[in-house]
Amino acid sequence: MSPTRPPRHKAVLIAILQSADRLRRRGEALFAPHDITLQQFNVLRILRGARPEGLCTLTIAQRMIEQTPGITRLIDRLEQKGLVRRVRSAEDRRQVWCRITPAGERLLERLDDPVDAFDRAAVRGLSPADQDRLTALLGQLQEEPG
Amino acid sequence: MSPTRPPRHKAVLIAILQSADRLRRRGEALFAPHDITLQQFNVLRILRGARPEGLCTLTIAQRMIEQTPGITRLIDRLEQKGLVRRVRSAEDRRQVWCRITPAGERLLERLDDPVDAFDRAAVRGLSPADQDRLTALLGQLQEEPG
DNA sequence: CGGGATTACTTGACATATCAACTATTGACT
DNA sequence: AGTCAATAGTTGATATGTCAAGTAATCCCG
């Protein structure tokens, strides 16, 4: 019924895209009740890791898991929700420093356990050794130039 | 400089999401000059594989690599470009049969070689055996329920 | 220290994604 | 036949993503 099995190199790519899609969707479902998206959560985590100074906008963008050209408006939304505060830098007035607020920290604290449980559940089909192998293989893939 | 390395189970998830993001973006860049998106390309390929009868809308959605709730409008765009034709089914008037047009087939033919080259290049950092291992590991991951 | 190149965002316009109704048909049962 | 449930799409509202262009501040170089 299904078409002929794809050649090995296509199978890899399909598997990666499918896995990521599933993970993203299940992640979004986890965060949706808390009124944030996966990307917003990632920003908050990055900012929690950068307390107390915070980070300026483009530095956050660089640390995102996924490329995020719309970082400004993403942080706009977090600021509107009161989870992030922004201040224009005094030394270099082009930069904007972003910091997580106490409300943002409280939200992350509420999410820490569920997220960790989610992550563990997501990989429970693989032994620790296989998890390392998988990470290593994907690392090799990404080392490719271009 | 970078924060502490993430635990093994998080590292896997990050690697998957990052890899997929890179692949998607490079794929989009490949298709952009031809005025289609990755998802549109996938629909066309699915429909080429279903010639000459075509498929009805939701069947296409089921075969997509990524979940695609906006399948109707996605196909709207393909129809507007003349790459797909739709006809309401006579037997079951709820269904809409979608078929690739000759223009759609010509577009795919132009893309076949570049896409194959792209796919091969994307995995050239891995030996064939490693490619199979990677596919298998991701398969195990996806077998997980929930 | 003046002027062009860079940097760090910001904004506007537009494409696409997502979810929740809603419509039209068909199927299943009585 | 008559009705309720299920199926197959469609549509509207809204959120988000993406690219290109614009602005303000700083840097670099003579």
Q: Is the pLDDT of residue A3 over 70?
A: no
Q: How far apart are CA A87 and CA A101, in angstroms?
A: 12
Query: Could you tell me how many CB contacts below 8 A there are between chain A and chain B?
Result: 150
- Is B137 within 8 Å of A133 when comparing Cβ atoms? yes
User: Nearest-CA neighbor of B3 among A118, A117, A62?
Assistant: A62
Q: How far apart are CA B17 and CA A64, in angstroms?
A: 11
At residue A73, the pLDDT reads 98
Partner residue facing B16 (CB), from A23, A25, A130: A23
Tokens of B29: 């860049």
Instruction: Say which residue the tokens 């000059």 belong to.
Output: B33
User: Nearest-CA neighbor of B79 among B50, B114, B54, B59?
Assistant: B54
Q: How far apart are CA A31 and CA A38, in angstroms?
A: 7
User: Nearest-CA neighbor of A120 among B11, B137, B66?
Assistant: B11
User: Nearest-CA neighbor of B9 among A122, A12, A42?
Assistant: A122
Q: Is B49 on the interface with A (CB under 8 A)?
A: yes
Tokens of B139: 């398969």
Beta strand pairing call for B55-56 and A96-100: unpaired
Sign of CA dihedral A7, A139, B143, B39: negative
Residue from B68, B135, B140, B142 to probe the interface with A (highest A Cβ count within 10 Å): B135
Residues with CB under 7 A from strand C: A 25, 28, 32, 56-59, 72-73, 75, 86, 92, 94-96; B 37, 39, 67-70, 73-74, 77, 91-94
Q: Is the pLDDT of residue B3 over 80?
A: no
Q: How confident is the model at residue B124 (pLDDT cuts 50, 70, 90)?
A: very high
B51-90 pLDDT, tens per residue? 999 999 999 999 999 999 999 999 999 999 999 999 999 9
Beta strand pairing call for A55-56 and A96-100: antiparallel
- Is B9 within 8 Å of A125 when comparing Cβ atoms? no
Indicate the SS3 state at residue A97: strand
Indicate the SS3 state at residue B84: strand
Indicate the SS3 state at residue B67: coil
At residue B37, the pLDDT reads 98
At residue B143, the pLDDT reads 86
Q: Is the pLDDT of residue A122 over 70?
A: yes
Instruction: State the average pLDDT for chain B.
Output: 95
Please name the nucleotide lying closest to B59, CA to C1': D8
At residue B120, the pLDDT reads 97
